Structure 1
Amino acid sequence: MKILCVGHEWRGSDANGLFYALARQGVITNTINEHRYISTGVANLFLKILHRLIRPLQVKSFNKEIIEQFNTFQPNIVLIYKGAFFHKNTMDYIHSFKIPVVVFFPDVSLFAHGNNIPQCIPHYDYIFTTKSFGFEDLKTKFNYPLEKVTFIPHGFDPQIHRPLNPIDNFKNDVSFIGNFSPHKAKVLETIVRRLPKINMKIWGGTWGRYNGELLKPYIVGNGIMGDAYSAAINSSKINLAILSEKVKGASSGDLITSRTFHITGAGGFMLHQHTLEVEKYYKEGEECEFYRSDNELIEKIDYYLNNEAERLKIAKKGYIRAVSQYSQDVRAKEVIEILNSKFENLSI
């Protein structure tokens, strides 16, 4: 099987983890690194304006590269990860050669990342979604045939998310690693108000959007990636897995997320916002902990900060569970099995 993979290829991205896992399973992959063509992580206002002006040229160059690599590599399937900058006319070109195009969609909403995603969704030959509610959204918003959809949760990348020695300047009692949202900020503000002496750290690339004052002393700065991400997990006594709320175009907020598997895969102790879905992956009080309310969150933070042996025991069992079932290699095997069952002539 030859797969042309399109998505972010920076060390630690979920797309990169999946692409490398596919290669470890014997797939011949060729990757087009979206990050090389599209500049999205700019913080300076002037550069943001400049990059918005040149974005159409970047997107045009990116899609041109997809076509050129497609012609050279001649894959028997094209895998798009998310597809925020993938053009419908590029898909049409690939389809003209009778080659299937599939998407692995990792986010809550199909409408929160520009126009390309909703324009392309009805025309994909198959869709993998990391959201169990993705079925409903695809059916109600696009009338997409559900026999061409599979739910595959996120996984952890064993080359990135692994036990590492703590870093002194990263050490903390409680951490949250992830992007800003109003719900997440509210939860973290509750912790600060109820536990004012807490040593807490907040990492994430979009916390500049936070317009309050209470959390500013705890916001470390930009996003943290690669080995530093795993080191931060291992430097935190308690790792919070706070879920994203419902956003425009989605029928639900997150029920599980990439952190659901990154934290345990790295060997960290995880305190996860409770949903019925996360109960399918971990045993509460044995492999991780859940919180259902502000009071339970505070009680469990206080308890596990004062019961290290129990905290470490749970973290170890969570790690064992993750390694046995939740790696990107496990996810890649499922992707390959489904592609082989749905499409013909995928062998080289």
Structure 2
Amino acid sequence: MGNFKIILATSFEKPWNNGWYYKSGFEKNGYEVIPYTQYQKGSFLEKVQSIKPDFILITKDEIDIEVLSECKKYTKLIQWYPDPVIPEWLIPYVKTVDLFFTMSEGLVEKFKKYNSNTFWLTQAFEPDFFKIKEITDNDIKKYSSDITFIGNLGSKPQYLPRRKALMKVLNERFNLKWWGPPLPKKIKTIPLIFGKLGRAYGGEFVYNETFAKVCKLSKIFLAFDSMPHIRKSMSARMYTAVGCGAFYMCQYVQGIEEVLIPDKEIVTFNDYDEMIDKIRFYLPKEDLRKKISKAGQERVLREHTYEVRIKQMIEIIKNVLF
């Protein structure tokens, strides 16, 4: 396998979709990427037959399972599933593809029951999309805070603990701003929207350059992965924030110390009381925060970019499928 062709079937609809980062990672490794998202059965099969890709990479259910099964006659099928939650529709895909990657190491054995070619491949950071052109006075006023959180505070069960944690921070009277989708407008969320949590909302979904500005202008970047009990199920947010130079303080995820070292490259906490204690400890210690964030950023840029991650993916693909 040399300079081969890949059909990348994932979302490119928004500028923050991971598909852009995957595409960049493949191209930096010298591979030709043809991005496709949604096609009707006949047209997609015709594209596959005419392009003759070395493999198709999907992330979720971008291609109908029946169409995907037909594609298997012409090329290899690979899936890199980016979530720790397992929906009902996923298992048929796991069974169909030739090789399956999960971002959660703790789920490898579960997926292997359906596909023996299952491997852990964690997410990464694509620095080219997060360059800051300039920081204006308005940026400083808008994006600066002592504590920041970027993520979803919606009503799904895995997001509810985040609301509780951020309320704990606000009740301790720390200066907090959070960014992401707005709180869902429901009767039961009215007190949140008009309360401390709603007032702490930065007002927008930040991504790429604005995400990087929040990382640079916030003293502590607070993070909560949705399934911290699942071993090494860290989201791309960790690599992105640390890669942007944030001082990253997160809820402990099992095995995270094998990826980034707590108290040297990131900071972790086990419960909300420890979170508050560590915020109090690190907030006034600018030099220590800079030392930790610099070490974390250097490691991410060295070991956890999508250029590196795709290279790791290709090695597994070569060993297993070709």
Q: Does the alignment reach a TM-score above 0.5?
A: yes
Classify the secondary structure of the residue corresponding to 2:165. helix
Structure 2 counterparts to residues 216-227 of structure 1, below 5 A: 216-227=198-209
Q: Does 1:176 align with 2:165?
A: no
Q: Equivalents in 2 of 1:222, 1:134: separation in Å?
A: 33
Classify the secondary structure of the residue corresponding to 2:84. coil
Which residue of structure 1 aligns with residue 214 of structure 2? 232
Q: Does 1:12 align with 2:16?
A: yes
Q: Cα RMSD (Å) of the superposition?
A: 2.3
1:63–1:191 CA distance, 2 compared to 1 (3 A): farther
Structure 2 counterparts to residues 110-125 of structure 1, below 5 A: 110-111=86-87, 115=89, 117-125=90-98
Classify the secondary structure of the residue corresponding to 2:101. strand
Q: Equivalents in 2 of 1:285, 1:172: separation in Å?
A: 22
Query: 1:165: Cα distance to partner?
Result: 5.6
Q: Equivalents in 1 of 2:63, 2:264: separation in Å?
A: 43
Q: Equivalents in 1 of 2:269, 2:143: separation in Å?
A: 24
Q: Equivalents in 2 of 1:288, 1:252: separation in Å?
A: 19
The two structures have a TM-score, normalised by structure 1, of: 0.80
Query: 1:231: Cα distance to partner?
Result: 1.4
Q: Equivalents in 1 of 2:280, 2:230: separation in Å?
A: 30
Q: Equivalents in 1 of 2:277, 2:132: separation in Å?
A: 27
Match of 2:223 among 225, 235, 241: 241
Which residue of structure 2 aligns with residue 158 of structure 1? 127
Query: 1:290: Cα distance to partner?
Result: 1.1
1:27–1:203 CA distance, 2 compared to 1 (3 A): same
Q: Equivalents in 2 of 1:144, 1:293: separation in Å?
A: 35
What is the identity, as a one-letter code, of the residue corresponding to 1:6? A
Query: 1:319: Cα distance to partner?
Result: 0.8
Structure 2 counterparts to residues 72-91 of structure 1, below 5 A: 72-83=50-61, 85-91=62-68
Q: Equivalents in 1 of 2:222, 2:44: separation in Å?
A: 38
The two structures have a TM-score, normalised by structure 2, of: 0.86
Query: 1:301: Cα distance to partner?
Result: 1.3
1:306–1:178 CA distance, 2 compared to 1 (3 A): same
Which residue of structure 2 aligns with residue 339 of structure 1? 317
Q: Equivalents in 2 of 1:280, 1:65: separation in Å?
A: 44
Q: Equivalents in 2 of 1:281, 1:26: separation in Å?
A: 26
- Asked whether the equivalents of residues 207 and 221 of structure 1 are also in contact (C-alpha less than 8 Å), the reply is no
Q: Equivalents in 2 of 1:258, 1:126: separation in Å?
A: 21
Which residue of structure 2 aligns with residue 48 of structure 1? none
1:164–1:202 CA distance, 2 compared to 1 (3 A): farther
Classify the secondary structure of the residue corresponding to 2:268. strand
**Residue correspondences, number:** 303
Q: 296-305 or 330-339: which moved more?
A: 296-305
Q: Equivalents in 2 of 1:339, 1:286: separation in Å?
A: 33
- Asked whether the equivalents of residues 7 and 35 of structure 2 are also in contact (C-alpha less than 8 Å), the reply is yes
Q: Does 1:308 align with 2:311?
A: no
Q: Equivalents in 2 of 1:209, 1:129: separation in Å?
A: 33
1:63–1:302 CA distance, 2 compared to 1 (3 A): farther
Q: Equivalents in 1 of 2:134, 2:249: separation in Å?
A: 20
Query: 1:87: Cα distance to partner?
Result: 0.7
Q: Equivalents in 2 of 1:308, 1:338: separation in Å?
A: 41
Q: Equivalents in 2 of 1:330, 1:7: separation in Å?
A: 20
Classify the secondary structure of the residue corresponding to 1:201. strand
Residues 114-134 of structure 1 deviation map (CA, whole Å, 9 limit, x = unaligned) = 73x333221111001111122
Structure 2 counterparts to residues 53-64 of structure 1, below 5 A: 61=39
**Uncovered stretches (5+) of structure 2, i.e. residues with no partner:** 154-158
Q: Equivalents in 2 of 1:316, 1:235: separation in Å?
A: 14
Residues 122-154 of structure 1 deviation map (CA, whole Å, 9 limit, x = unaligned) = 111100111112213324xxx3133x0110111
